[in-house]
Structure 1
């Protein structure tokens, strides 16, 4: 009897998991589209988006009206970079399921600026040659230049799209590949025309999406109160699965099977909420100081996966294209998972510091890696080697001081 009960429970869980994983991976704004295929042939279920006005609103209970208004304003949404990319993973560029799987994994490795950053945890199950072959096809996706490893490759992606003159194309390609020595091409016949093309390029390739970063819909809210830090899942506009069997014999096999499918979908939605809530709690536990004004601390997927009893790949799905809203703004969940630069300081904190330094640098005299290193050692009180700064700079797709000086000159 106990064995039969366990088998039945396992079968129900497996059925729920089949719908849970894509629902878990979907962003809040993709949920409706993700759910629809599961109930399109079910005459007894429908998706309801807008909840009744009298439904419970925890924001009004938790904060005053002006804070609730601020949350509502933060929830205005426009198409994100990742939604744009996922929508293009289809034929003819990605005709097989394998090519689609690799392309979707590559998207998980694209940072907010549109550049590709190799991630062993995400891409380990794919052959490196296959990954590179599929990544090259991103040259044909929008925004143009996305998926490139650095600004040079992004420029080459954009050049293919924006230049149809063979002579200008050849010169511009040479100039991009030899960007450090741009001045030696000034006497070339098509130099000015090639330079005009290069000036049209977007750097970084997803720059227009960076401007809209604050307009995404948060999946998790973190509130700092007198009693500490609390987490809430943003389920205010969650799709609801409504089951209607009025006047129908629920004992009929066809009806009962469809009702079961709808209830499995409801269970999958609840599992999504529960998983995001647990991830929110774990982020608070690991990153408590961040919500009180500190830096993001070292945190790995396997840390949280172990605590939650899940596979790291499941947690990776859960955090992709998901955002957390707190008093410090809206933060991508994946930003909380950083490798350690020291025991208490994360790579993410140092990278942010480097990025801000370069944003404020003198365009006539850009900071060298040695100068950046000195600033980091002074502000963070840690000792690291210069090549580490070079590695961080390259990971951020920031050129050397001489490269930046040339770019500043072109854009001036």
Structure 2
């Protein structure tokens, strides 16, 4: 057979991950803090982007009716199912493992918020009224910075030690103290690294053990508790025996502890209470940076007619505009082709970014509205009325892909009259009913188990089998191993350990 070259035309479909599309996908799963950081980087990179409050005339920032034809990317079809077909392209584009892919809003009846049909009124994110207090002052600028644990110990070292060698050893020990307040490096390793004797390091460590907070630089939990008990003059032989067998205390083996320490029930209860008042992590009061408060992305409030109003938090929505006047001045002059090409690329990027931010806001609002519609009983009556819900149910209701709902609910929070919850909190597994009734939410069942155990009396401590029986009487079909798993996730000890603890408390008269 002769070999020859020929041209063949074929027609096919393929998913092309443009940088703009990857950006739109990435913006969906960013939290409000990550989004603010991303916008800051874009403002520094793109000269045509600026903050909304910086613009002298809003009319200068009106986007053109049509983007420039030169080098325009093909508009993404947000209704296409092809976004869920090529996982490899998505992972290669984003550099992260994605379960599925992106599917934006669909047009038509499915895109209409379902809340209007169910008494929900979803406020448009662009039409939300500004805060009555305006921008307000940033209180964080008035908060005095707290000293770190390292600085606090170093300041005490300067007063307690005068010898230069001992100070060097002391600084090395302080550097080895972790955030919890424990010495993370063995004394022998410190001595070898500094070229000094182990005895010298032990002597300086004994001085560091006298610093505040008490128990700092301990090498184990037992040593940390011992240092605190010695300061309170409570480290007697019985307490020393108890500290030496913390494993029995963790198992709540009070009978073994009484034999070991030679005390009765009342004395053992006092000793255990004394240990509980100690701080097992003395360095945590200094810790690292300030605690970051969770800022909700969505507000849910009740309406006078009994429905729910869903508003986006406009304070966390980025306000960026495209400066059309600056672009016109640059391209109108004697700019080179390279400069004009750069400005056109910046314009395309800016227009796509503003569109992606608008798309992100609309998607968050739509998903949140559907969650509130599905979990209306939770907001009205509490966690016991939480319904089983999965991503597919929400995605089908609003006409989006499951992966889109998954990204929208990641690191997003909803503030409601019942508290602040991550959007993923409302997605729980389903537990079957013993009859042919409606299934139960796993979170609601977990809450029931917690309530049962909190209502226990010393004479009636519920075993896992007893909890299963009570739940089945309440029309909840659940296995014993599932009850044990839920109990352990709530950090509740077994019935044997709870019975031991309650008996000791009763004997101590508590």
For 1:369, which of 459, 464, 478 is the aligned residue?
A: 464
Matches of 2:312 and 2:448, distance apart in 1: 30
For 2:407, which of 307, 317, 329 is the aligned residue?
A: 317
8 Å contact from structure 2 (residues 248, 256) kept in 1: no
Aligned residues: 305
8 Å contact from structure 1 (residues 320, 333) kept in 2: yes
Please state if 1:249 is matched with 2:333: no
Cα displacement string for residues 27-81 of structure 1 (whole angstroms, at most 9, x for unaligned residues)? 23442113223333222323458999xx987368xxxx9xx89xx9xxx99xxxx
8 Å contact from structure 1 (residues 25, 318) kept in 2: yes
For residues 94-133 of structure 1, what are the structure 2 equivalents within 5 Å?
none
Matches of 2:498 and 2:405, distance apart in 1: 37
Aligned to 2:417: 327
2:219 is paired with a residue whose SS is coil
Matches of 1:349 and 1:231, distance apart in 2: 24
Aligned to 1:37: 41
Aligned to 2:378: 290
Aligned to 1:402: 496
8 Å contact from structure 2 (residues 440, 476) kept in 1: no
For 2:365, which of 266, 277, 285 is the aligned residue?
A: 277
The change in CA–CA distance for 1:20 and 1:235 in structure 2 (over 3 A counts) is farther
Aligned to 1:304: 394
How far apart are residue 276 of structure 1 and its match? 0.8
Matches of 2:39 and 2:245, distance apart in 1: 45
> Could you state the TM-score of these two structures normalised by the residue count of structure 1?
0.57
Matches of 2:37 and 2:322, distance apart in 1: 18
1:40 is paired with a residue whose SS is helix
Aligned to 1:216: 294
1:249 is paired with a residue whose SS is helix
Aligned to 2:312: 233
Matches of 1:303 and 1:18, distance apart in 2: 26
Aligned to 1:393: 487
The change in CA–CA distance for 1:56 and 1:20 in structure 2 (over 3 A counts) is closer
The change in CA–CA distance for 1:280 and 1:56 in structure 2 (over 3 A counts) is closer
How far apart are residue 241 of structure 1 and its match? 1.4
Which runs of no fewer than 5 residues in structure 1 stay unpaired?
1-6, 78-139, 145-160
8 Å contact from structure 2 (residues 248, 257) kept in 1: no
Matches of 2:360 and 2:248, distance apart in 1: 46
How far apart are residue 168 of structure 1 and its match? 5.5
For 1:164, which of 214, 219, 232 is the aligned residue?
A: 219
Matches of 1:278 and 1:42, distance apart in 2: 30
Aligned to 1:179: 251
1:324 is paired with a residue whose SS is strand
Matches of 2:254 and 2:399, distance apart in 1: 54
For 1:346, which of 416, 429, 441 is the aligned residue?
A: 441
Matches of 2:30 and 2:323, distance apart in 1: 26
Cα displacement string for residues 261-290 of structure 1 (whole angstroms, at most 9, x for unaligned residues)? 222221221121121112113213322333
Aligned to 2:184: none
Calculate the aligned-residue CA RMSD, in Å: 5.0
The structure with more radius of gyration:
2
How far apart are residue 199 of structure 1 and its match? 5.6
